[in-house]
Structure 1
Amino acid sequence: MKKYTGILLFLAMISEADMIFSQYPVYRIYPSVSNQIEPFIVRHPLNPQIMFASAYTIYLNFRSEGIYVSTDGGINWRGTDTCNGAPINGGHGGDPGPIIDKDGRFIITHQGGAVAGMYANYSTNQGLTWSNNYPILTGDQDKGAPATDDAIASPYYGRTYLAWTRFSTPFPIVLSYTSNGGVNWSSIIQVNNSFGGNRSFGPSIGVTPSGKVITVWASSIPVSPFIEDYIGVGISTDGGSNWSVSENAIDINGIRTTALSPWTIRANSFPVIDVDKTGGARNGWIYVATSSKNLAPAGSDPDIILYRSTNDGVSWSSGVRVNQDPMNNGRNQFFPAVRVDEDGGLNIVYYDNRNSVDSVDVYLSRSLDGGTTWSDHRITGQKFRPQAVSGALGAGNMGDNLGLTSGNGKLYPVWMANYTGLFQTWCANIDYATIGIQQISSETPKTFSLNQNFPNPFNPATTINFNLVKNGYTSLKIFNSAGKLVKILAEQNLNSGSYSVKWDASNEPSGIYFYTLETAGLKESRKMILVK
């Protein structure tokens, strides 16, 4: 390991020493001596082996954006804690926004300092070298959020967008775009005007399969700590030039604070967005996740809440509580990241202290039915205590987000944690085909069967075993006594063999339930009893 004044450059390979083993192997993607916070991760639109992650990096008084690259599906990573787009000292100040466009060009957007300008660099060699800083807009700017149009049918295919907050009255969301891989950026387009004195913060941006651009943001009350009151939605049908805006599309009660209890870290309810572009049954559905409390369906403590639109953002569903721990238990779920994987599964990762008052895990919640029902999965095998990061600007700043992408049948969440003393960027490579399902034998059984759950009656969890004699698409669903679907435990391709899956019914009422297994033209159902 070598030190350079103001510049840290390493080649990182995943080694056993950098892993924490849990249900999923957890590793640092780029071990270093810098703090790495606010991690994001994206994948190449056409090659899922290529991924680009970034973080806001801090070493003493030097700040930059980390450049972390994998070209083999997350097995190995290389990188640096310093974006080398000139000027290296100055002009780099965090809020990184990594993007890979349709041509494989890497783009990184970032601030020039604390709320100081919005800049971009591009790389034509997968992050080894970078163009000089491009000043998209100087002055007071904050929280850039990029997205690229990777829908081949879109008239704006290949265009990359960047939305952020102009940090002056009326605190609107503004946008710029590039149509040539970051060489030039458009003039600034104002998306909204804010309303009722509220301020617009924390945008997130997505693109539909037809090329419509959807931007969401938090509309916050104008008094510190600027608690989020609504989620605003902007829709553009002409590549970002003009916008149809609803300033109060979704009613929320945010969690923004500079001292989230029981810690003294800042937290927020900035929304995050993703769009289903799988071509499947829910193609084009838009999903937005945030943290909320004291407004149904959230409880009295911060919960992850999902909203969805099936008509390009014109109208939105009521909220669905994502995390499945008991309501009003005094535990916090915050900083969600959302991703629709290539098979249409809906995935949200977030920090969660359900297992400890003092420390957090990273949890994954996954839905196979477009966000109606959810299963929770603990990713991390080691907790950490949230705390403000030395050198990060702003009271209680531990960073404001996690990241999530997918490819190769896997999910790749990234998060910041101080397991090693420094806040570093960690990742897990999660095979989502086996989330929640354990194959207990690969030997082909003699007969197809669905076993009786055990224990039965049960409270609150039970285990279901089943045997498959053929490879094929398999579903395992749970219904209540009225025939209403309450949970999808499996809906995916499985090989022949014996399997086990656990159902936690903590949030379901006592009663009789039925579970049904279907595969390869075969079907079997059984009854079970939940007694609380």
Structure 2
Amino acid sequence: MKLFLYFILIFGFNTEIYSQNFFVPTSVLSTGTEYVDAIASTSSGVVLAAQLNSGVYRTTNNGINWAICGLTGRRVYKIASAPDGNIFTLGGTTSNIYISRSTDNGLSWSDVMTQARANNYANGGGGIVFVNSTTIVAALSFTLGPTIGDVAAVIMRSTDAGSSWIQVYTLVTGFTNDLVLTPTGKILAATSLGGVKASTNNGTNWLNTGYNIYSNRLEVNSLGHVFVSRATAGDTIDMIYKSTDDGVLWFPVNCSGRSIRDFIIDSQDRLYVSNESKQVKRSSDGGSTWEYITSGIPASQYVYSLYMAGNGILFAGTNSSGVYRSATVVSSGNINGNIPSAFSLKQNYPNPFNPVTIINYQLAASNYVKLTISDIAGREVAVLVNQKQNAGKYEVKWDASNYSTGVYFYRLISREFSETRKMILLK
């Protein structure tokens, strides 16, 4: 009897400690100690994780079970969900770089872009943005010369939703580690040797910004402010910078630690960072103060990738084939029913109208959103939405009582999607 009670007490005590951890383990992707480079989710809630040289894994139950689903034998370092629900990955081997696509939530994959790159040892670092429903821009790093520092990135563009690609530029500024689409439609690139670069014509040309330090991750918050993180060998502190003017001027954000590995912002504008100090931390006040949320992840493991799923679960990929998830929902999810399967901007109704019309749009994931009205000359005359919103369906009313008869354009811009439609005001 005493032995039985002792077992109950010990079991209950351990369970209580376990439940207090921020992270809990999911099933291990595979044996070995390979990096989990990227994590993402589909519009239907399937979570995908890419493991160094071992392919892409998928789970339909938040990590209780993982199954290999393809792209083995190459390093996949970026996974992204497109507005139409398709999934894209960026990856490479020592001889090629690839853009791959899945149209069935990761069950099968096809290479939609292959480019030969002999002696390519720079498999890592890249980004992808969805400019609108058909235009996609991607950056893939590759080995340019004989030494490890000779790295560049090709800028690829598709105008048919990812079925075909053309090379439009080469950024000879080391690794290109990330891309982001700002609310104004500008594409920013985080590079290792050239800082943050900017393109206003979907990747055809690139210019310097006010940030010229090594950069590895880019994020945009609900106010449209852009954040960039830095990670270089020998860094003794974490470095995050913020721009409130679309990347022209940058200011440091308070952040302690050593060399950032990954950095994300959730739908409530909270900042999450993983670093070389084997820490994961979160800030709810823009970086003024931080709380450590590493509990549950073994002290021997680095977190290489962070991802906030649409259901509000935070996932963390480590250097030991492990994926951990938050024990509870930590970010608000969809507040408008089921998560839509794709981003879209609907035609306004009625159209023509006088003087009120309705604009509907839907978001497949939490995003910064800006909805603007412009006249026939391209002048912005109204801003209807300018904030971060959860995945869901939205309806906005525009009262044009104070505007003249004519043709107007309404444009929806988010980090992963941009589309413009025409409407007619008749009085």
User: TM-score band (shorter)?
Assistant: 0.5 to 0.7
**How far apart in 2 are the matches of 1:272 and 1:382?**
24
Residue 78 of structure 1 aligns with which residue?
66
Residues paired across the two proteins, number: 309
CA separation of 1:237/1:204 partners in 2, compared to 1, >3 Å: closer, same or farther?
Answer: same
The secondary structure found in structure 2 opposite 1:215 is strand
**How much is the aligned-residue C-alpha RMSD, in angstroms?**
3.2
1:207 maps to which of 176, 181, 196: 181
**How far apart in 2 are the matches of 1:179 and 1:244?**
22
User: Does the alignment pair 1:185 with 2:165?
Assistant: yes
Residue 239 of structure 1 aligns with which residue?
202
Structure 2 matches for 1:345-384, cutoff 5 A? Answer: 345-352=270-277, 361=278, 363-384=279-300
Partner amino acid, structure 2, of 1:215: A
**How far apart in 2 are the matches of 1:38 and 1:290?**
20
**How far apart in 1 are the matches of 2:233 and 2:57?**
35
Structure 2 matches for 1:172-321, cutoff 5 A? Answer: 172-191=152-171, 193-194=172-173, 200-219=174-193, 232-246=195-209, 249-251=211-213, 271-276=216-221, 280=222, 282=223, 284-291=224-231, 302-321=236-255
**How far apart in 1 are the matches of 2:32 and 2:159?**
34
The secondary structure found in structure 2 opposite 1:33 is coil
| 1:107–1:120 contact (8 Å) kept in structure 2 | yes
**How far apart in 1 are the matches of 2:207 and 2:51?**
32
Higher mean C-alpha displacement, 121-130 vs 373-382: 373-382
**How far apart in 2 are the matches of 1:211 and 1:137?**
31
2:24 maps to which of 23, 26, 31: 26
> Shift of residue 215 of structure 1?
0.2
CA separation of 1:31/1:244 partners in 2, compared to 1, >3 Å: closer, same or farther?
Answer: closer
| 2:317–2:323 contact (8 Å) kept in structure 1 | yes
Q: Deviations over 1:475-530 (max 9, x none)?
A: xxxxxxxxxxxxxxxxxxxxxxxxxxxxxxxxxxxxxxxxxxxxxxxxxxxxxxxx
Structure 2 matches for 1:132-171, cutoff 5 A? Answer: 132=111, 134-141=113-120, 142=122, 143-149=124-130, 156-157=132-133, 159-168=135-144, 171=151
Residue 55 of structure 1 aligns with which residue?
51
Gaps of 5+ in 2: 1-17, 333-427
Residue 39 of structure 1 aligns with which residue?
37
| 2:267–2:331 contact (8 Å) kept in structure 1 | no
Residue 104 of structure 1 aligns with which residue?
85
User: Does the alignment pair 1:428 with 2:325?
Assistant: yes
CA separation of 1:158/1:140 partners in 2, compared to 1, >3 Å: closer, same or farther?
Answer: farther
Partner amino acid, structure 1, of 2:87: F
Residue 68 of structure 1 aligns with which residue?
57
**How far apart in 1 are the matches of 2:29 and 2:313?**
22
**How far apart in 1 are the matches of 2:198 and 2:112?**
29
With structure 2 as the length reference, what TM-score do the two structures score?
A: 0.63
CA separation of 1:249/1:408 partners in 2, compared to 1, >3 Å: closer, same or farther?
Answer: same
**How far apart in 2 are the matches of 1:241 and 1:31?**
39
**How far apart in 2 are the matches of 1:22 and 1:351?**
24
> Shift of residue 168 of structure 1?
2.0
| 1:322–1:365 contact (8 Å) kept in structure 2 | no
> Shift of residue 205 of structure 1?
1.4
> Shift of residue 171 of structure 1?
3.9
**How far apart in 1 are the matches of 2:128 and 2:190?**
12
CA separation of 1:242/1:369 partners in 2, compared to 1, >3 Å: closer, same or farther?
Answer: same
**How far apart in 1 are the matches of 2:246 and 2:100?**
31
| 1:118–1:135 contact (8 Å) kept in structure 2 | yes
> Shift of residue 30 of structure 1?
4.2
Q: Deviations over 1:371-427 (max 9, x none)?
A: 3332222233532277xxxxxxxxxxxxx933333432332222222xxxxxx1322
| 1:288–1:307 contact (8 Å) kept in structure 2 | yes
**How far apart in 2 are the matches of 1:32 and 1:350?**
23
2:318 maps to which of 415, 419, 426: 415
Gaps of 5+ in 1: 1-19, 58-63, 85-91, 195-199, 220-230, 253-269, 295-300, 324-332, 353-360, 387-399, 418-423, 436-532
> Shift of residue 158 of structure 1?
5.4
**How far apart in 2 are the matches of 1:172 and 1:241?**
16
Residue 355 of structure 1 aligns with which residue?
none
Partner amino acid, structure 2, of 1:365: K
**How far apart in 1 are the matches of 2:125 and 2:232?**
22
**How far apart in 1 are the matches of 2:116 and 2:298?**
41
Residue 129 of structure 1 aligns with which residue?
108
**How far apart in 1 are the matches of 2:285 and 2:244?**
13
Residue 407 of structure 2 aligns with which residue?
none
> Shift of residue 351 of structure 1?
4.0
CA separation of 1:183/1:290 partners in 2, compared to 1, >3 Å: closer, same or farther?
Answer: same
The secondary structure found in structure 1 opposite 2:319 is strand
The secondary structure found in structure 2 opposite 1:204 is strand
The secondary structure found in structure 1 opposite 2:195 is strand
**How far apart in 1 are the matches of 2:256 and 2:135?**
32
